[in-house]
Amino acid sequence: MRLTSALLLASTASAISYPDLSTIANLFSRKDSGCPAVWTSISSELTKKFLSNGQCNPDARAAIREVFHDCGAWNTGLGSTGGCDGSLILAGELSRGENKGLQGISDYLQGLATKYNVTVADMIVFAGSHAIVTCPGGPRIKTYVGRKDSTNPAPNGLLPDVNAPAADLLALFQAKGFDERDLAAILGQANIMPGAHSTSNQFNFNPGRSGDAQDSTPGVWDVKYCKSTLGAAKMHAETLNPPKNVLVLPSDAKLSQYGNVAKEFQGFVNNQGKWNGKFADAMGRMTLFGSSGTNGLSDCTNVLPQATNVKRELRAMSMFKPRN
């Protein structure tokens, strides 16, 4: 009896000591997103292209503008057509006035798409997301691949005019499914957004001031573009009171003072986390313009670089180096 009991106990102990945890492990394992391996190689090339001295460079800033000009030439009436379809490059849209200055980055991205046998549409979106997170402080955008290219040009008039009234600009973005907070977060991309205008230079709006930045730290993703000090009834910001060599587009100045857009714009002041979160949400939705949601697409977000620490990179900037 004692021997039998001992054997039973040993058998029970063995069962308890070595349970099958495969089911539990599967619950916590990170599932493969199905992102094609080629995008890892593309990401490595883009890092070399977009990062200079710890900051995002002009090529990165052009790529951020590029994704808006391809994806943003869309509204809800187009449904699952148009949008992020590569037509900016493939359908002659670069000849349009609003796309002036994008030829260089377009040639580069088209060449990279050919080299790695991926669609131009996917390359534009992936490069834009890559450029955003390359900027110190920039958020990671949920990024998918699997789009088809199109040689059908987007309709005219779907991108913002920098001289348009604020009401018209808001209506243009509402037709894309964006509200006032979305617009405040995305204000300035492709000639209208703190997201890209926080990290941009202008070359075409005012040729006499070619190269002027649109905030005082164009290589860093920050809220200086909408930084302000509130007076009794007036907002003073780089947007409204730009420092020397900072050029603010008329559309940005108008929207930063317009109704609920102004209130949302002000809500991002000194709140990098709030702005990044809302910007990433709005931008992620924009990169699905023209798609049937994420159906048929593969999630390549994990292939993007990790977010860059702003404080660490700022220490590497020339302003913190000893003077000669």
Q: Hey, which residues are catalytic here?
A: 69
20 is in an annotated binding site: no
> Does 83 carry a binding-site annotation?
yes
Annotated binding residue at 197?
A: yes
* Residue 107 among known ligand-binding residues: no
Task: Flag whether 198 is marked binding.
Answer: yes
- 3 state SS for the chain: CHHHHHHHHHHHHHHHHCCCCHHHHHHHCCCCCCCCCHHHHHHHHHHHHHEECCEECHHHHHHHHHHHHHHCCCCHHHCCCCCCCCHHHHCCHHHCHHHCCCHHHHHHHHHHHHHHCCCHHHHHHHHHHHHHHHCCCCCCCCCEECCCCCCCCCCCCCCCCCCCCHHHHHHHHHCCCCCHHHHHHHCECCCCEHHHHCCCECCCCCHHHCCCECCCCCCCCCCHHHCEEECCCCEEECCCCCCCCECCCHHHHHHCCCHHHHHHHHHCCCCHHHHHHHHHHHHHHHCCCCCCCCCCCEECHHHCCCCCCHHHHHHCCHHHCCCC
130 is in an annotated binding site: no
Asked if residue 87 belongs to a known ligand binding site, the reply is yes
Alpha-carbon distance of 126 to 176, in angstroms, equals 21
Any binding-site annotation on 54? no
Binding-site entries for heme b:
197
Binding-site entries for Ca(2+):
70, 83, 85, 87, 198, 215, 217, 222
Binding-site entries:
70, 83, 85, 87, 197-198, 215, 217, 222
